[in-house]
Amino acid sequence: MQTDLWKGKTIVITGGSSGIGEALLESLSKIPCKIINLSRTEPELVRKISKKKEKRSAQIFHIQADLSSEKEINKAVAKLAKLTDGIDVLFNNAGITAHSRFDQTQIEAFRKTFDVNFFGPVFLTIRLLPFLKKNKGAVMVTSTVSGLYGVPARSAYSSSKSALHAVMEAARIELSEEGLRFIIFCPPYTKTKLRANGIDGDGQILGESHYSGKSKTPEEVAEKMIRSIEDPKSRLVVMDKSGFFMKWMRNISPSFLEKVLYKKLYKDFH
């Protein structure tokens, strides 16, 4: 981390109460800056600071909000406007996963997934554009390798993230002349509660245990995200071989990619 680049900055994080968002909050809290967290649950770090059990260099504020609700986003932005008039970095991190076969997925599950992964971050970004334009800020969305191609047993999840990619790419081109940056970050499997809090084809809580294979820690992902913000050339960022494979094979040989996905994830949709 290039600490000097973050000093005095105003940073907004969504989903800072757990997982990758919590790791971002923890890392950036050690720098003299202003951090505003938006999530339904207050982060443990914020509670510790308020009880004077922790002390950090950053000013940290928590605004409670369900980011799948336009009404709550509007309320959150009104509160945020009392704390700052400019934003340097927006980490659109909050999200939900959805696991089920396409032919066993109800439309309600698609709507719920899109509300959290697509409409929520898009609407929040729109509402925060005046703040971002003032500081010529950067927007980073936490996506997934599954957003690079339609992945079996994740049609709702993949499509919600892919749609988000398209919006961020269009915004990047349109608003580049105003100094704004839009970065799509696709981490690999990460040790978070994403699966436990995800939904099935009926829109019900999955409650699955964490992925048991090789995966990154939230801290490793957060560090890469911070370094990607620091790099002015960042656009679509992946972290490991699976990400690079998906990124390139979708263009070079999608038929081969589909064969690999079929074999690797066969058990997920049978």
For residue range 161-188, list pLDDT tens digits in order. Answer: 999 999 999 999 999 999 999 999 999 8
Residue-level pLDDT at 202: 86
Taking alpha carbons only, the member of 95, 267, 102 closest to residue 201 is 102
Which tokens in the block code for residue 82? 């009392």
Of the pLDDT bands very low, low, confident and very high (cuts 50, 70, 90), residue 212 is: low
75: pLDDT strictly greater than 60:
yes
* CA dist list (Å): 97 to 62, 88, 144, 159: 24, 28, 10, 11
122: pLDDT strictly greater than 90:
yes
The count of other CB atoms within 10 Å of the CB of residue 155 is 24
Q: Are 160 and 118 in contact (CB under 8 A)?
A: yes
207: pLDDT strictly greater than 90:
no
Long-range contact list for 50-59, CB < 8 A, 24+ apart?
56/29, 56/30, 57/29, 57/30, 57/31, 57/32, 57/33, 58/28, 58/29, 58/30, 58/31, 58/32, 58/33, 58/34, 59/33, 59/34, 59/35
**CATH code for 3-242?**
3.40.50.720
Q: Give the type of residue at 210.
A: H
96: pLDDT strictly greater than 90:
no
94: pLDDT strictly greater than 80:
yes
Q: What is the mean pLDDT of the chain?
A: 92
Higher pLDDT, 148 or 197: 148
For the chain, the domains span 3-242
Task: Enumerate the H helices of the chain as residue ranges.
Answer: 3-6, 19-28, 44-50, 70-80, 107-114, 120-135, 155-175, 218-230, 241-252, 254-264
Question: What pTM did the predictor assign?
Answer: 0.92
pLDDT one-digit tens code per residue, 22-40:
999 999 999 999 999 999 9
Taking alpha carbons only, the member of 127, 176, 167 closest to residue 143 is 167
137: pLDDT strictly greater than 80:
yes
Q: Are 114 and 157 in contact (CB under 8 A)?
A: no
Mean predicted confidence (pLDDT) in 230-253: 92
Residue-level pLDDT at 182: 98
Residue-level pLDDT at 28: 96
Residue-level pLDDT at 190: 79
